[in-house]
Amino acid sequence: MIRRERPNLEITLAITGASGAIYPHRLLNLLAAEPSVSRINLIASGAALRVLNDELDLQPLTLHNLAEKLVQNHHHKIEVLGNDDIGAKIASGSHPVDSMAVVPCSMGTLGSIAHGISRNLVQRAADVMLKERRKLVLVVRDTPFNLIHLENMRLATLAGAVVFSATPSFYHGETTLEGIIDQFLYRVMQHLGLNPEAAFRWSGDKGS
């Protein structure tokens, strides 16, 4: 069978109430600017809105102005879905979402995903990605981790999720916070099926 290129990706980005609002803020802009992404399903938990308002200088952020406030261009690609809308299209495996990221992923949402507790749209959409064997990336954030957190990461990994800790690298030469975060997010984007041009690629000879 001939494999066809699929440049029009539909990606779900879920934001939950862990610290690190800069991650979803930058990721949403990077995804929106990505030519191969045609649709972004955006969900934010109530706790996420609280943390976004605490950490970003964009208040007041609500579900209604989220896309306009967080993203500079390409708003037409973004559809904001309510976290209590468990009848949304992405709550069903029959709707073809290519990949999903939860950024940042709170320990509470991690636990719910790891145990299949689909009580809101973030958790249900993640559960659908796992049952359909599609790519699910969880960028978990807390520190330190207790045994429950670690076991939940293990379980989510066994079920097929890719777990990133919100821990950037520092070997790419970026010096601004935005540059460092973007390089981290390029790695996330690679796991979402994208190939960001500005991603640093280690060639093995830096510093030798």
Ligand X SMILES: Cc1cc2nc3c(=O)[nH]c(=O)nc-3n(C[C@H](O)[C@H](O)[C@H](O)COP(=O)(O)O)c2cc1C
Judged by the rule CB under 6 A, the positions of this chain that interact with ligand X are: 16-19, 45, 47-48, 50-51, 54, 106-109, 141-142
Question: What angle is formed at CA 130 by the lines to CA 123 and CA 144, rounded to 5 degrees?
Answer: 60
Smaller CB distance to ligand X: residue 122 or 128? Answer: 122
- Report helix, strand and coil shares of the chain as percent, to nearest 5: 40, 15, 45
Least distance between ligand X and beta carbon 161 (Å): 15
Smaller CB distance to ligand X: residue 104 or 196? Answer: 104
Smaller CB distance to ligand X: residue 27 or 48? Answer: 48
Least distance between ligand X and beta carbon 118 (Å): 12
Smaller CB distance to ligand X: residue 78 or 107? Answer: 107
Question: What angle is formed at CA 161 by the lines to CA 158 and CA 164, rounded to 5 degrees?
Answer: 110
Least distance between ligand X and beta carbon 106 (Å): 4
Question: What angle is formed at CA 110 by the lines to CA 24 and CA 183, rounded to 5 degrees?
Answer: 35
Least distance between ligand X and beta carbon 184 (Å): 16
Please list the residues that pair with 11 across neighbouring strands.
Answer: 40, 99
Smaller CB distance to ligand X: residue 36 or 85? Answer: 85
Sheet with 37-44, edge to edge strand ranges: 78-81, 37-44, 9-15, 99-105, 135-140, 162-165
Least distance between ligand X and beta carbon 70 (Å): 16
Please list the residues that pair with 15 across neighbouring strands.
Answer: 44
| 186 phi and psi angles, rounded to 5 deg | -60, -35
Q: What is the CA radius of gyration of the chain?
A: 17
Least distance between ligand X and beta carbon 16 (Å): 3
The count of C-alpha atoms lying within 13 angstroms of the C-alpha of 125, restricted to the half-sphere facing its C-beta, is: 35
Smaller CB distance to ligand X: residue 45 or 99? Answer: 45
